[in-house]
Structure 1
Amino acid sequence: MKRNYWIAGMLSLCLTYQVSAQDATALKYAEKITAAGLEEKLTYLASDEMEGRDTGEKGQKMAAEYLANHYKTLGLAGPVNGEYLQKFNLASVSFSEVNMTVGKQKLVNNEDFVFIGDGDMKKAAKADLVFLGLASEENLAKVDVKGKLVGLWAIGERAQTVVRDVMDAGAAGIVIVTMEGQANFDRLANRYKSLSGRGRLGFEQPSKQEPIFLVSSDKMSSLFGTPVEILKEAAKNNPESIKSQKASYLIKKATKLVPTENVMGYLEGTDKKDEVLVISSHYDHTGIDSQGRINNGADDDGSGTVSVMQIAEAFAAAAKDGIKPRRSILFLNVTGEEKGLLGSEYYANNPIFPLENTVNNINIDMVGRIDYEYQDAEDQDYVYVIGSEMLSSQLKVINEYNNITYTGLKLDYRYDAEDDPNRFYYRSDHYNFAKNNIPVIFFFNGVHDDYHQHTDTVDKIEFPLMTKRAKLIFHTSWDLANREQRTPVDGTNTRTDR
């Protein structure tokens, strides 16, 4: 409570002295960030020529070259042994054959089920399919899961957690329901079908014999020959009442390496140069869909990437005039975010600069649009801010001070709640810094009808609003890079598990 009063007092003081508190030097270089500059860069980055910037594909490579040349032209250093690219390999895993039969039902992959597990088998395996429902201690005491395929009813549950609990109890594999409604499942299955030819990207690792099949609630009902409502009730209290079924399954796997790269430009600081501020975005997107349409990713995350480019321009212009930041700044554009935050995970595990010297991560992912919540609002000058007060008592205050002083946006914290059902905190690259106890701010505009669609195009970007958001991020970054003390890590990270 005392902390809240202190924050309120600070903000009141900032409002009273807004004009006199402005830094004329910061204002001068903030003017390098323009709507015209953002539009010019985004028009190229989100063009059809980039083919949707899918990780490891031609368009992503072209975008990486474009970013690297930009940082080189600005006079920023290449921090990877003089280069601007941090190259690494991902593994593309595809399952050339996945079969499952339950009783007399021969199921079709990406229609009747979606395979979300791992495995590589020389011949089909046979097992009983038993119904467990909820993965509670009580249910596990009632149903023998060892060596069995286990039916889980995980609607509203953390699927990753319950899967792990049941596999650790000795299950041979899992058939799981995570959502209500056949239509929702069909949309997911169609997406997997469109992606099946490309393979799943991730880090190379040994195969795990963990067959996990996702099915709809209706299909689970069909497999056990039991109405959905009865399964729901049995899932809670008496899973042993559901008769087991005979099943067999086969999984064949193929793996190939996919080279990709993070892009970075480095501006060395002065008296505090060993301390590093990271300003990040992801520059990859989802490529070309199953109908041959290019997913340009103008908002996601072309908007964040060109914002990083223009913020870099502003800092580079100041440096050329002899005004370098006290702390060093790493401008980091990561790959593979759409595949599971892979590029930022690789950087966090293979940092160019020690993580203990990384003072903050400012992450920008989708800042060019107006979302569902604000589309009919009278005042649309907003941005969502996520993660800013988890690890440091000062970071949120610093950002709010700079907003009041320079930009006057509405800072919306609704998605910062730990119980946010959208789980946006876990869905962008700041997460891989926060889990290493580096204080973060994630700037975000929310979702809209064009999210992950081929209609996410440059003509729908709100460039004046995007410019204001980028200027806020610049001012907060300028402050963090030049203040006397780095922001303390005096909070507890309560969100470490995705």
Structure 2
Amino acid sequence: MRTFYLLLFSLFFLGSAAQNSELKNVSATINIKTLKKHISVLAADSLNGRYTTSEGQKKAANYIRNEFNKAGLHPYNDTSFYQTFSLWSWRWGKCELKVGDILLQSYKDFIYRCNSPLDSINTDCVFVGYGEDDIINNIDLQDKVAFAFTKSYSNYYHLAYRLKSKGVKAIILTNPKDKNSFTRLVKSEDPDHVNVSKAKPFFSKTATRIYIVNPSLTKTFFNKNSNVLSQINTLEEAKKIKSQIISANCPAIVEKVKTENVIGYLKGKSDETIVISAHYDHIGKKGSLICNGADDNASGTSALITLANTYAQQTEIPDRSILFLATSGEELGLLGALHFADHQQELPFDIKANLNIDMIGRRDSTHKSNYIYIIGGKEYPVLDSLCNVANKKVGLTLDYGYAGRSSFGNILNLSDHYAFHKQGIPILGFFNGLHPDYHKPTDTIDKIEFDEMLKRVQLIYLTGNLLVNKQSYSNN
């Protein structure tokens, strides 16, 4: 350790000129034009937000694989750049709602609002108004469908609980006071959304099955429009409303699906390996709007591809091998990184450290410019010292403000570097902090600040150079 710090001291004072030359030598590959090129592909509308297992995610994986191949990286197992692993998915099948002989249309006339499927039912539909106690407590609802009015599609849970306690099979809700609210709700939903998880989905037997219908269809159910029915608030009036027969079902389609990490490596003089990682998946869509994820994490993936190409063009063989890991499933719980870390025995690599890149293209509200958050620096001070040496050339403010934060602020546990950290492998995460466009359709390429991003990629590159040099780093 004493030898390491003597070397570190020398690097602080002697490394600046060498690093200036080092950055100049790689400016042909580490530049704004290159970074922008990769983000433009990864954050394009055609990839539909790169949701794990989606067609857009597969397109992104194919692009990264081709770039790794063009750079001259070796496939991670010398056969394929893909490390494939299995997940579970579920989506709705054909959801139906029929009033007498009239078949309503999903996402035009109704939306099914529940996380559990509905087995086929055929039963009376009973009008209960806004859920007045006199009506709910004195009408037979056992094994029926309750039709209720609500003033808000986000604040009906107490009413639903009361109706469920009366034994209803399902609930139909509508908002007669705001006739445009159903249209807004439909626009906020993605009818093609697929839910993906590591575990096989579990569906509750007791969940409240809810249909939300367009208020213009009230007459279809009871031959009276919503203006008339909304005036009903007594048991006597409610009992006069003729009951309809409702047929309904909403099956779930459950399947095993596959996704893939994209991995390439450069062989060094030993099997000791530095992993540079970034996740390339994102959250898909919110309703009809695509969440392109330009910062999260097309920026990190662009940096990863750029670094792979830069290291691959160096003529001198590094002391350590370098593995470039583009993960899928990060947004679903670090699934790709955890799979890789849990299957290290499949690969002939002795992993010594991980540099993880997750959102490096923007600024947060607390900084004007010229900074980067460092994750893991407090936990791994030797590795952090190397980053500080590298930063002598770049001159960024290294912010450790996320260290020790709880909840969402604990980024140490909430990005792919955690998969390595939990196994005791030293890590550094590079992160620009949160901004108002995080996980929103507004995280687009026009908001990427490429001048800032370039300096961050330069810092990661220089830190990586020190890491692959055995003489300048040991985690022992």
- Provide TM-score, normalisation by structure 1: 0.63
The 3 A distance-change label for structure 1 pair 25 and 287 is same
Contact kept? 1:315, 1:324, Cα under 8 Å: no
- Superposed CA offset, 1:217-254 (max 9, x none): xxxxxxxxxxxxxxxxxxxxxxxxxxxxxxxxxx9865
Tell me the residue number matched to 2:256: 257
1:314 match: secondary structure: helix
- What is the alpha-carbon root mean square deviation over aligned residues? 3.9
Tell me the residue number matched to 1:400: 388
Which of 51, 54, 64 is the aligned partner of 1:54? 51
The 3 A distance-change label for structure 1 pair 252 and 439 is farther
Which of 292, 297, 303 is the aligned partner of 1:307? 303
* Structure 1 segment 148-297 matched on structure 2, within 5 A: 194=189, 198-205=193-200, 207=202, 255-270=254-269, 272=270, 274-290=271-287, 292-297=288-293
Q: Does 1:330 align with 2:323?
A: yes
Contact kept? 1:269, 1:329, Cα under 8 Å: yes
Q: Does 1:74 align with 2:62?
A: no
The 3 A distance-change label for structure 1 pair 487 and 210 is farther
Give the partner amino acid of 1:386. I
Q: Does 1:29 align with 2:18?
A: no
Give the aligned length: 359
Tell me the residue number matched to 2:402: 415
Contact kept? 1:85, 1:264, Cα under 8 Å: yes
Give the partner amino acid of 1:264. I
Contact kept? 1:383, 1:412, Cα under 8 Å: yes
Tell me the residue number matched to 2:340: 347
Residue 265 of structure 1: CA displacement?
Answer: 1.3
Give the partner amino acid of 2:459. L
State the distance in 2 between where 1:418 and 1:210 align.
38
State the distance in 2 between where 1:355 and 1:208 align.
41
Tell me the residue number matched to 2:462: 475
Contact kept? 1:30, 1:474, Cα under 8 Å: no
State the distance in 1 between where 2:372 and 2:207 align.
38
Identity of aligned residues (%): 35
Residue 58 of structure 1: CA displacement?
Answer: 1.0
* Structure 1 segment 327-476 matched on structure 2, within 5 A: 327-351=320-344, 357-374=350-367, 377=368, 380-390=369-379, 392-404=380-392, 406-419=393-406, 422-476=409-463
- Superposed CA offset, 1:320-360 (max 9, x none): x3x12111111110011111111111111223765981111
The 3 A distance-change label for structure 1 pair 447 and 411 is same
State the distance in 2 between where 1:212 and 1:386 align.
40
The unaligned stretches of length 5 or more in structure 2 are 95-110, 121-184, 209-249
State the distance in 1 between where 2:9 and 2:381 align.
18
The 3 A distance-change label for structure 1 pair 29 and 339 is same
State the distance in 1 between where 2:366 and 2:419 align.
28
Residue 267 of structure 1: CA displacement?
Answer: 0.5
State the distance in 2 between where 1:211 and 1:326 align.
59
Tell me the residue number matched to 1:187: none
The unaligned stretches of length 5 or more in structure 1 are 98-110, 124-189, 214-250, 490-498
The 3 A distance-change label for structure 1 pair 65 and 423 is same
The 3 A distance-change label for structure 1 pair 209 and 356 is farther
The 3 A distance-change label for structure 1 pair 86 and 210 is farther
The 3 A distance-change label for structure 1 pair 31 and 327 is same
- Superposed CA offset, 1:296-324 (max 9, x none): 11100000000011111110110xx3x12
* Structure 1 segment 114-133 matched on structure 2, within 5 A: none
The 3 A distance-change label for structure 1 pair 27 and 389 is farther
Residue 25 of structure 1: CA displacement?
Answer: 4.7
Residue 22 of structure 1: CA displacement?
Answer: 3.4
Which of 86, 89, 101 is the aligned partner of 2:86? 89
Residue 20 of structure 1: CA displacement?
Answer: 4.4
Residue 195 of structure 1: CA displacement?
Answer: 6.7
Contact kept? 1:276, 1:353, Cα under 8 Å: no
State the distance in 2 between where 1:383 and 1:92 align.
36
State the distance in 2 between where 1:454 and 1:326 align.
43
State the distance in 1 between where 2:206 and 2:297 align.
33
2:388 match: secondary structure: helix
Which of 288, 310, 317 is the aligned partner of 2:313? 317
The 3 A distance-change label for structure 1 pair 302 and 343 is same
The 3 A distance-change label for structure 1 pair 486 and 296 is same
The 3 A distance-change label for structure 1 pair 353 and 438 is farther
Contact kept? 2:8, 2:472, Cα under 8 Å: no
Contact kept? 1:76, 1:316, Cα under 8 Å: yes
The 3 A distance-change label for structure 1 pair 265 and 12 is closer
- Provide TM-score, normalisation by structure 2: 0.66
The 3 A distance-change label for structure 1 pair 387 and 441 is same
1:201 match: secondary structure: strand
- Superposed CA offset, 1:392-420 (max 9, x none): 3311111111111x200000000012536
Contact kept? 1:371, 1:446, Cα under 8 Å: yes
- Superposed CA offset, 1:117-171 (max 9, x none): xx99999xxxxxxxxxxxxxxxxxxxxxxxxxxxxxxxxxxxxxxxxxxxxxxxx
The 3 A distance-change label for structure 1 pair 477 and 415 is same
Residue 284 of structure 1: CA displacement?
Answer: 0.8
